[in-house]
């Protein structure tokens, strides 16, 4: 008897810098692996050799908001074609540390860049041949944390990059961007109260996994 290939599953992890998403992605990967799924872990900007080069520029070089938005989407285009679509076509679970919700939150709400232009770029980059729907994560874990707590967690944790060096009002705007995105697509967002302890945050994340992908 031939075994049916499972459908690919695209899941993203979002939040302001220091919200704790990278800490918890491994637990989600383990949860799926324990259920027999193949998992691809990746990140944005980055995930391919070209996109990782663009990441270096984006995280360290000053540039105007349009250049920043275009480079984010250029990196994403390569990532979608080289990694994301092939993994989903193989039926894997694709866990992505940030995707386009970050562009709306950071470049749109954080920098004040035109949301309609971002929407146009999203259409070009995430179009799927022969399909009406754009390629996007079917579920986004949104680690919601007040910027002051995130900043305190990052103190001394690592050398800040261009984004992490922004002041608190920038992150207030980014956080409001994530809240707006979640309000627009409540079925896609799973809000995690990231102000809780590491163990409690992990429990919330795994509870969502059980609820969405556990046995019916
Ligand atoms: N619930 C928590 N309580 C206390 N500290 C935490 C918690 N979650 C994460 N941390 C710590 O906060 C710091 C930032 O966490 P992490 O790198 O996972 O955040 P992030 O959202 O991936 O940030 P970035 O987007 O900037 O990479 C780390 O030092 C991590 O150990
Ligand atoms: C995808 C994406 C990312 N960013 C910003 C957000 C973060 O500050 C960095 C990535 O660093 P991380 O430690 O890997 O989270 O890039 C952005 O501004 N716009 C985007 O689309």
**30 in a structural domain:** yes
pLDDT in tens, 125-148: 999 888 889 999 999 999 999 999
pLDDT at residue 2 above 70? no
Helix (H) or strand (E) holding 86: helix 85-89
CA distance 84 to 25: 17
Residue 55 and residue 24 in contact, taking contact as beta carbons nearer than 8 Å = no
**Peptide bond connecting 51 to the previous residue in cis, omega within 30 degrees of 0:** no
What percent of the chain shows pLDDT beyond 70? 98
Helix, strand and coil in the chain, % to nearest 5: 55, 15, 35
**63 in a structural domain:** yes
pLDDT in tens, 61-95: 999 999 999 999 999 999 999 999 999 999 999 99
CB neighbour list of residue 107: distance below 8 Å, 6 or more residues apart: 65, 68, 69, 72, 113, 118
**141 in a structural domain:** yes
**1 in a structural domain:** no
- Is 162 within any annotated ligand binding site? no
pLDDT at 155: 87
pLDDT at 6: 78
pLDDT at 204: 98
Closest CA to 139 of 177, 192, 180: 192
- Is 16 within any annotated ligand binding site? yes
Return the CATH number at 70. Answer: 3.40.50.300
- Residue of the CA atom closest to atom 26 of ligand 1: 17
Structurally, the chain folds into a number of domains equal to: 1
Side-chain-side CA neighbours of residue 142 (13 Å): 26
With 0.80 as the threshold, say if the pTM is over it.
yes
Ligand nearest to the CA of 106: 2
Atom nearest to 163 CA in ligand 2: 8
Tell how far the Cα of 43 is from the centroid of ligand 2, in angstroms.
9
Phi, psi of 92, deg, nearest 5? -85, 165
pLDDT at residue 3 above 80? no
Q: Quick one: pLDDT band at residue 1, thresholds 50, 70, 90?
A: low
Tell how far the Cα of 45 is from the centroid of ligand 2, in angstroms.
6
**3 in a structural domain:** no
Tell how far the Cα of 95 is from the centroid of ligand 1, in angstroms.
17
CA distance 81 to 135: 11
CB neighbour list of residue 4: distance below 8 Å, 6 or more residues apart: none
Mean of pLDDT over the chain: 95
- Structural domain span for residue 16: 9-213
pLDDT at 23: 92
- Is 15 within any annotated ligand binding site? yes
Please compute the mean of the pLDDT values over residues 43-51 and round it to a whole number.
Answer: 98
Least confident of 24-33, 68-77, 81-90, 158-167: 158-167
**187 in a structural domain:** yes
Ligand nearest to the CA of 151: 1
**2 in a structural domain:** no
């Amino acid at each position: 008897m031939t075994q049916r290939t499972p459908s690919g599953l695209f899941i993203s992890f979002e939040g302001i810098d220091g919200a704790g998403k990278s800490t918890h992605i491994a637990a989600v990967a383990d949860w799926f692996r324990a259920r027999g799924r193949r998992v691809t872990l990746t990140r944005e900007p980055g995930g391919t050799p070209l996109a990782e080069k663009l990441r270096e520029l984006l995280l360290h070089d000053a540039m105007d908001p349009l250049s920043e938005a275009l480079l984010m989407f250029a990196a994403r285009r390569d990532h979608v074609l080289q990694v994301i679509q092939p993994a989903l076509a193989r039926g894997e679970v694709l866990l992505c540390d940030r995707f386009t919700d970050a562009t709306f939150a950071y470049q749109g709400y954080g920098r004040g860049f035109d949301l309609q232009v971002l929407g146009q770029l999203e259409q070009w980059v995430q179009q799927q041949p022969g399909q009406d729907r754009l390629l996007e994560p079917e579920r986004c874990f949104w680690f919601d944390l007040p910027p002051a707590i995130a900043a305190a967690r990052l103190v001394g944790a690592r050398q800040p990059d261009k984004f992490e060096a922004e002041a608190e009002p920038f992150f207030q705007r980014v956080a409001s961007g994530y809240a707006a995105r979640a309000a627009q697509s409540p079925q896609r967002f799973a809000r995690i109260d990231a102000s809780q302890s590491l163990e409690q945050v992990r429990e919330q994340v795994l509870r969502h996994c059980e609820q969405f992908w556990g046995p019916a």
